[in-house]
């Protein structure tokens, strides 16, 4: 058996001819390198050529709890699927926006923020939701007080994604805020405030995408397709905004399996 193994497997640690004592006992700890290597060879020769693992199928079935969704986007309502020309134009416009953001990022980063602008810390999810969407939308308050007509209260209405703001956000913060807003969107309706911020964050997202960002934008596209189907009033402006999100994710960020089929 030992000679057969040697013919098939080359020796990585060959043991040359050496004078081992007549009383050599492979069961006791080796005293020399030659004895150690010889002991290894003898143990290897005693191992079975084939080993079969004993697996209980019942235990495997109980442990299978992982669920992965690979479904694409739901198709647009009849008559609202965007044309290929429209999608290509949106991708071209978006590409131009991204180039301008990158080109002028350092300039806008150096600009002073207004005294009322306090950007939350990256890990402050609730703070970012209020910052982007406003306390009124965050708290789902529909009433408008009289003093709001005197000017825009950004604390209540939410801060727009100004270049002076988004240019200060690194990629980790951009990904975090994108996650916060997509999580919000998972349970809430689509609003213009949300749409503006999603567009701005996508424009600042660097390629190639990190795995977290890749998963997030796919989640965004699927959610947009769900809301689009449930749009009762068939608001063209609303559906167009949802179409735009799906278009950018699928065609600019190369998630082609989520793309709308041209009408």
- Could you state, in chain order, the average pLDDT of each consecutive group of 10 residues for the chain (263 residues)? 51 59 74 76 75 67 47 86 95 96 92 89 94 82 50 79 95 96 93 95 94 95 94 84 97 95 75
Contact of 250 with 258, CB cutoff 8 Å: yes
Res 5: pLDDT:
46
| 84-141+152-258, CATH topology level | Methane Monooxygenase Hydroxylase; Chain G, domain 1 (1.20.58)
Q: Following DSSP, what letter does each residue of 185-213 receive, concatenated?
A: HTTS---HHHHHHHHHHHHH--SSPPHHH
Res 120: pLDDT:
95
Res 15: pLDDT:
56
> Which residue's structure tokens are 């235990």?
59
> Which residue's structure tokens are 């270049």?
163
Res 1: pLDDT:
47
- CB neighbours of 213 closer than 8 A, spacing ≥ 6? 175, 178, 205
Res 239: pLDDT:
93
pTM of the model: 0.69
- CB neighbours of 258 closer than 8 A, spacing ≥ 6? 72, 73, 218, 221, 222, 225, 246, 249, 250
Res 9: pLDDT:
54
Tell me how far apart the alpha carbons of residues 120 and 230 are, in angstroms, rounded to a whole number. 33
Domain boundaries defined on the chain: 84-141+152-258
């Amino acid at each position: 058996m030992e000679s057969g193994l040697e013919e098939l497997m080359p020796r990585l640690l060959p043991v040359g001819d050496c004078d081992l004592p007549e009383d050599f006992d492979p069961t006791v700890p080796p005293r020399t390198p030659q004895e150690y290597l010889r002991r290894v060879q003898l143990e290897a020769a005693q191992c079975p050529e084939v080993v079969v693992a004993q697996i209980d199928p019942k235990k495997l079935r109980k442990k299978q709890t992982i669920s992965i969704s690979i479904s694409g986007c739901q198709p647009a309502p009849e008559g609202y699927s965007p044309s290929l020309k429209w999608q290509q134009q949106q991708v071209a416009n978006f590409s131009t926006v991204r180039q301008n953001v990158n080109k002028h990022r350092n300039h806008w980063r150096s600009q002073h923020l207004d005294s009322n602008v306090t950007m939350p810390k990256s890990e402050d999810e609730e703070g970012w939701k209020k910052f982007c969407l406003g306390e009124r939308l965050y708290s789902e308050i529909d009433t408008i007080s009289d003093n709001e007509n005197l000017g825009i209260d950004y604390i209540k209405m939410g801060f727009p994604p100004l270049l002076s703001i988004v240019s200060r956000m690194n990629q980790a913060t951009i990904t975090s805020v994108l996650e916060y807003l997509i999580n919000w969107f998972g349970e809430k309706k689509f609003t213009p405030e949300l749409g503006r911020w999603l567009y701005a964050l996508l424009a600042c997202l660097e390629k190639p995408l990190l795995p977290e960002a890749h998963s997030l934008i796919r989640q965004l596209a699927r959610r947009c397709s769900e809301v689009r189907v449930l749009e009762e009033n068939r608001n063209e402006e609303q559906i167009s905004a949802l179409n735009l999100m799906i278009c950018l994710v699928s065609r600019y960020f190369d998630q082609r399996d989520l793309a709308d089929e041209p009408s």
